[in-house]
Amino acid sequence: MTSRDFDALVLPDRVHSSLYRDPAIFEEEMDRIFNRSWVWVAHESDIPKAGDFLTTHVGRQPVIVNRDRKGDIRVMVNRCRHRGATVCEARRGNAAGFVCPYHAWTYSQDGSLRGVPLPKGYKDFDKAEYGLVQLRVETYAGLVFATFNHDIEPLDTFLGRAKPWIDLFMKQGGGFPVKTMGEHRFTFPGNWKIQLENTTDAYHFPIVHKSFLTSLDNATEDLFSFMDAGGYVEDLGNGHSVMVMIPELVDLDDNLDADIPDRFADIAEELRRDYPEEQVRKIVRAIGGSGFNLNLFPNLACSMAFFRVLRPLAVDETEIRHIAIGMDGGPDIANRARLRLHEHFQGPMGFGTPDDAEAWERVQRGSAGSADPAWIMVNRGEDKTAANAGDVTAETGMRAAYQMWKRMMSA
Amino acid sequence: MTRTIETITFEDAVRFISLEADCLDHRDYATWLGLWAKDGIYAIPIDPDAEDFADRLNYAYDDAAMRRMRVSRLTSGESMSARDASNTLRSLSRFRMLDDEPASDVRIRCAQHLVDYRRGAYRTYAANVTYRLRVEDGGIRLAEKVVRLINSTDALAGMSFLL
Ligand code: FES
Ligand SMILES: [Fe+2]
């Protein structure tokens, strides 16, 4: 496929439904986007100590993310350089190194090949040439990104205008560093971009999440009824965007003298035993998370109170992880409250996620109706400009993502 | 539970949890809610080794209020996934009392094999389930139900039913 074709499939206000359905396009996405872009792989709190590791994927390639003896984070292809077996199948753990189970080639924490059994069977064998394949790794505010593209711009430049929003998002540590606290992992039968769009789709919230809204107390229901709360969506460049739903919860350090909501009154009372009033307010205000979704192209979102990570499995199959986050070293009672809020909305039995997944599945099923014009419309709402704050239901974030998609697919 | 009892035997326990399973498969949620003790906990952990659930992320960790909300979500018609809910059929077997019986507070463990049918596709959910049953006001009440899916750490699909 040529770049010409992608131009025809992604217009400024609509995209062609073959983007959800065509296996050839999916293959190209894996090459041109997931093998070339910065891809989020972990949060630093997942691997705090030397030797800590986890296994995950960059696009379709299995990788190990680990912290070596010197404390550097490494991301390495999980494939033995002998005949290609995975060297690690554990999801996470701590290891002095990795021993391939097939013929016992042994790799150290930094991925270098340390030894092979019966070395005299090899002639002119230079172990230095057979280390695990290393990706380039950079971090921002605890977020660990990796890429196969050693010529790519620095992460800092790639994130660009998204960085101040990441900083704001991390304020939900309530004065403590942010740490991950487990995850809900689920799949849905649909294309990954359907989920990418959804993180910047406020339009669906009162419809799809009606049963979630009903389950909330009145004050919280008001907070989540953000259609007219002054929110907006902004294109942050490079496919990233932010959707502000609850403007008063953009900066969690603001309004610390406002009244504590009833639902957090008991927690505040208990916190007062251990913390001064100012810190109590800061912690309590951080419990519910931020009032915005930050969509980082292609696979991460900092979404209100959790990380959303997507992994394309096939053109019509996607895995989503909703990673709970909390306050590292913070009070148990606050972290417990955050866990319960996460369980309430997220996961295969949450009050929100199954309805989202149902909507996304319906989009995939409906996209089989391919009679022309088979367009997916993303033309809603005006983009935020200096003079115009736009609207929270604008599809600006989707337009931003698809323009980046086109740029990368045509490059 | 027409007769008044003081202790729970193996047969009582099996009869009670079979009724609970039947309520869930037939979406008789009103009866199901009535089986619980007021302080009962319904937990579906992710971590296979978890014994206490409060400080970790679970699929569900419900007290009475949360169970009520869960049932209204499944029955209100407001949830698009629940409107087109799965048909489920669960079998319980391999029962084992974990405490001496008869007693007024006992735990029983069993295997649960659940078949879920939705939109032309079957899925199965295999789980070890542990129940704590307690005598209250002369009848049996469910004090705790913990469902440990054997694939709990894998990616699951959305569930429009209760395990
Ligand atoms: S495949 Fe790894 S040692 Fe042979
Ligand atoms: Fe949603």
pLDDT in tens, B26-48: 999 999 999 999 999 999 999 99
Any ligand 1 atom below 6 A from CB of A132: no
Taking the CA of residue A124 and the nearest CA in chain B, the distance in Å comes to 44
Mean pLDDT within A8-25: 94
Question: What is the pLDDT, as a whole number, of residue A226?
Answer: 84
pLDDT of residue A171: 98
B102-123 burial, b at 16+ Cβ within 10 Å, e below that, comes to bbeebbbebebebebebeeeee
Length of chain A: 411
Ligand 1 near A98 CB (within 6 A) = no
Cα distance from A339 to chain B (closest Cα, Å)? 6
Note the pLDDT of residue A4. 64
Tokens 């590791």 appear where? A53
**Which pLDDT belongs to residue A323?**
98
Tell whether ligand 1 has an atom less than 6 A from the beta carbon of residue A103: yes
B55–A355 CB contact, under 8 Å: no
pLDDT digits (tens, 9 = 90+) for B111-133: 999 999 998 999 999 999 999 99
Tell whether ligand 1 has an atom less than 6 A from the beta carbon of residue A85: yes
Q: What does the pLDDT look like over A102-140, one tens digit per residue? A: 999 999 999 999 999 999 999 999 999 999 999 999 999
In chain A, ranges of CATH 2.102.10.10 domains: 39-147
B139–chain A nearest CA distance, Å: 30
Task: Name the closest ligand to CA A107.
Answer: 1
Residues of chain A with CATH 3.90.380.10: 160-410
Average pLDDT in chain B: 95
Average pLDDT in the A57-86 region?
97
Closest partner residue to B57 among A182, A188, A212, by Cβ?
Answer: A182
Distant-in-sequence contacts of B18-21, Cβ < 8 A, 24+ apart: B18/B92, B20/B131, B20/B142, B20/B145, B21/B90, B21/B92, B21/B112
Nearest chain B residue to A91, by CA: B153
Contact B55 A332 (CB under 8 A): yes
According to DSSP, residue A127 is labeled G
Contact A185 B156 (CB under 8 A): yes
Is the CB of residue A107 below 6 angstroms from any atom belonging to ligand 1? no
pLDDT at B139 exceeding the cut of 80: yes
As a whole number, mean pLDDT of residues A43-53 equals: 98
A105 close to ligand 1 (CB < 6 Angstrom): yes
Q: Which two tokens stand for residue B151?
A: 């694939």
Residues A59-79 have a mean pLDDT of: 97
Query: Which residues in chain A are closer than 8 Å to B147, comparing Cβ atoms?
Result: none
Taking the alpha carbons of A357, A363, A364, A365 in that order, is the dihedral positive or negative? positive
Q: Is the CB of A334 under 6 A from ligand 1?
A: no
Cα–Cα dist A14/B129, whole Å: 49
* CA gap B46, B53 in Å, rounded: 9
Q: Which of B26, B143, B34, B78 is nearest to A209 (CA)?
A: B78
Cα(A353) to centroid(ligand 2), Å:
7
Percent of chain A with pLDDT over 90: 88
Closest CA to B96 of B105, B87, B109, B106: B109
With bands split at pLDDT 50, 70 and 90, how would you rate the model's confidence at A387?
Answer: low
pLDDT tier for residue B16 given thresholds of 50, 70 and 90:
very high
The chain B residue lying nearest A317, using CA atoms, is B157
pLDDT reading at A79 higher than 90:
yes
Whose atoms come closest to the Cα of A132: which ligand? 1
Residue A237: the pLDDT is: 96
The dotted CATH code for A160-410 is 3.90.380.10
pLDDT digits (tens, 9 = 90+) for B85-94: 899 999 999 9
Kindly report, residue by residue over A268-293, the tens digit of the pLDDT.
999 999 999 999 999 999 999 999 99
pLDDT, tens digit, for every residue of A300-338? 999 999 999 999 999 999 999 999 999 999 999 999 999
Here the ipTM equals 0.95
Nearest Cα to Cα of residue A303 among A312, A295, A315, A311: A295
Q: What is the mean pLDDT of residues A16-38?
A: 96
Arithmetic mean of pLDDT, B103-118 = 97
Distance from B98 to chain A by nearest Cα, in Å? 28
Question: Could you give the CA distance from residue A16 to residue A375 in angstroms, rounded to a whole number?
Answer: 5
Interchain contact, A354 vs B159, CB within 8 Å: yes
Does A324 contact chain B (CB < 8 Å)?
yes
Closest atom of ligand 1 to CA, residue A87: 2
Determine whether domain A39-147 maps to CATH 2.102.10.10.
yes
- Give strand ranges (E) for A167-264: 178-188, 232-237, 240-244
Domains of chain B are 10-149 (3.10.450.50)
Per-residue pLDDT for A1 more than 70? no
Q: Pick the residue whose CA is nearest to atom 4 on ligand 1.
A: A103
Give me the pLDDT at residue A307, please.
Answer: 98
C-alpha A208 – ligand 1 centre gap (Å): 49
Instruction: Name which residue leads in pLDDT, A83 or A221.
Output: A83
pLDDT at site A384:
67
Residue pair A360/A198 in contact by the 8 Å Cβ criterion:
yes
Nearest CB neighbour to A324, from listed B57, B61, B72: B57
Q: Each residue of A224-248: pLDDT tens digit?
A: 888 888 899 999 999 999 999 999 9
Cβ-contact A42, A54 below 8 angstroms:
yes
